[in-house]
A and B are shown apart, each in its own frame.
Chain A
Amino acid sequence: SQQGEEDPQALSIQEGENATMNCSYKTSINNLQWYRQNSGRGLVHLILIRSNEREKHSGRLRVTLDTSKKSSSLLITASRAADTASYFCATIQGAQKLVFGQGTRLTINP
């Protein structure tokens, strides 16, 4: 089973709007990572947030982490067509296996 589960599975918004994706995980973590994947391409690392951090920013991206709820969210502000992609969270499961959730497919409509 997957350690991280993204929600929603798919999200479609208008360009300029904000997009929020959520990730829930099952066991305690040291870090959580978010990645983006354009169709058929390799994943690209976005942000790594450590368990002692509650919020982290990178450009138009904001990641929050709530270890008490075992959840994280990724907010993309002022979305652009180029943000159309799948977004994955990744955490360590068991003995050092970095596993990814099923992802959220984000579509930005012009």
Chain B
Amino acid sequence: DSGVTQTPKHLITATGQRVTLRCSPRSGDLSVYWYQQSLDQGLQFLIQYYNGEERAKGNILERFSAQQFPDLHSELNLSSLELGDSALYFCASSVASTGGNSPLHFGNGTRLTVT
């Protein structure tokens, strides 16, 4: 058990809809990362927060947004969903502010299916 909790585990929704994915980091970790994993694109870095502040940004679409709250949990909001957004969305957490300096602890992901 990594200590990172992601909810929900599965989500099925229609095109055009909006969903929110939630992540609680491991106790003591200040950094939260979001990744998208699809069969054809591999594991894509979306965004990282450290102690409530955006730290690094990857290939995150404008339709997607995220935030980290004072209690350090994070939410990833996906709007105007398209079929291509169907993927596994992972949250990870770490102690360090920079992703490469300490191990990331991954949750088990939210599987999003857009129909």
Contacts and interface: CB of A to CB of B under 8 A. Distances in A.
B103 A45 contact: yes
B42 interface: yes
B56 interface: yes
Contacts, number: 73
Interface string B53-66: 00111100000000
Interface in B59-107: 88, 90, 92, 98-107
A34 to B, nearest CB: 10
Nearest to A96: B56
18 contacts: A2-B42, A29-B100, A33-B103, A35-B104, A41-B108, A42-B90, A42-B92, A42-B107, A43-B43, A43-B90, A91-B100, A95-B56, A96-B99, A97-B99, A98-B100, A100-B45, A102-B42, A103-B42
